[in-house]
Amino acid sequence: MSEMMNSGRFGATAALALRYRDGDGERTVWPALIGGELLVDCGYPGQLDALGRAAAAAGAPLSGLRAAVLTHHDYDHVGALAALRRAYPSVRVYASEDDAARVEGRAKSRRLEQAEALEPNLPPEMKAWSRGFMARLAAVEPARVDEPLVDGLRLGPAGARALATPGHMPGHFSVYVEDDGLLIAGDALVVEEGLLALANPRFTLDMPRALESTSRIAALRPKAALCYHGGLWVGDVADALGTLLRRAGEAAS
């Protein structure tokens, strides 16, 4: 892993590297901290300490945190939320209404529903992994959400606003940091081997909607995208997404 992957900053936003073990390897997810006060996503269960260290290393300790936005309720994005709320009770938490019901434990995780639906048709060698995955999803500690995200909602620093990007999940939101032209994509986009890529179809509950959301993102002409899986990608986002959308269109026709 290169040194560049260990940190990242684009204008007012610090990309915080959180590493986790995945089978034999190590991967990284990338929460964002805007202006030292607005967090976007917060890592797996048990990652609050790592999140705090990453924020401090970026010069913005979590004691300065005012708000946290959840792009959606997958456990890699909200796993550390309950611990975060206990440690920083004054932090205001935002999520879409659909996701808030699941973060708060009032409705079943859509990822768990998907895994349960797929389970009967899995090959035998995948079953143990699938059961472990479902157990990890079911074990995520519920946590309170303070305010629903709506499209265009102003979130504070650097002109940050909520951008509805459904597809990966129906309530998925991204954050657009307008002053810097930075799109914080959550899982609406990914970076794979240094290249910007569409949402992973395996984990995307509604791919046509995800492609519409991709067009919405491209229309903003961002100068960079910070993807939770893959990190910061700096360049002509609209141009890169235009190519990906054309290819997806050709494959579908």
Report residue 103 as tokens: 């973060």
Stretch that binds Zn ion, among 37-45, 92-100, 183-191, 234-242 (CB under 5 A): 183-191
User: CA separation (Å) from 199 to 29, 88, 190?
Assistant: 15, 32, 6
Stretch that binds Zn ion, among 16-24, 30-38, 96-104, 181-189 (CB under 5 A): 181-189
**DSSP result, 97-138:** HHHHHHHTTSS--HHHHHHHHHGGGS-HHHHHHHHHHHHHHH
- Assess contact for 60 and 68: CB atoms under 8 A: no
Residue 37 sits in the site that holds Zn ion (CB under 5 A): no
- The smaller minimum CB distance to Zn ion, of residues 37 and 187, is found at 187
- Assess contact for 138 and 120: CB atoms under 8 A: no
Residue 99 sits in the site that holds Zn ion (CB under 5 A): no
Residue 180 sits in the site that holds Zn ion (CB under 5 A): no
Residue 187 sits in the site that holds Zn ion (CB under 5 A): yes
- Assess contact for 160 and 34: CB atoms under 8 A: yes
- Assess contact for 80 and 148: CB atoms under 8 A: no
- Shortest distance (Å) from residue 71 CB to Zn ion: 8
- State the number of CA atoms in the 13 A half-sphere of 239 facing the CB: 7
- The smaller minimum CB distance to Zn ion, of residues 197 and 238, is found at 197
- The smaller minimum CB distance to Zn ion, of residues 66 and 133, is found at 133
Counting residues that bind Zn ion (by CB under 5 A) gives 3
- Shortest distance (Å) from residue 250 CB to Zn ion: 27
Alpha-carbon distance 2 to 11, whole Å? Answer: 21
- Shortest distance (Å) from residue 29 CB to Zn ion: 7
- Shortest distance (Å) from residue 75 CB to Zn ion: 9
- The smaller minimum CB distance to Zn ion, of residues 74 and 180, is found at 74
Residue 76 sits in the site that holds Zn ion (CB under 5 A): yes
- The smaller minimum CB distance to Zn ion, of residues 12 and 190, is found at 190
Furthest C-alpha separation in the chain: 51
Stretch that binds Zn ion, among 40-48, 66-74, 133-141, 158-166 (CB under 5 A): 66-74
- Shortest distance (Å) from residue 72 CB to Zn ion: 8
User: CA separation (Å) from 48 to 12, 173, 178?
Assistant: 22, 22, 28
Give contact residues for Zn ion (rule: CB under 5 A): 74, 76, 187
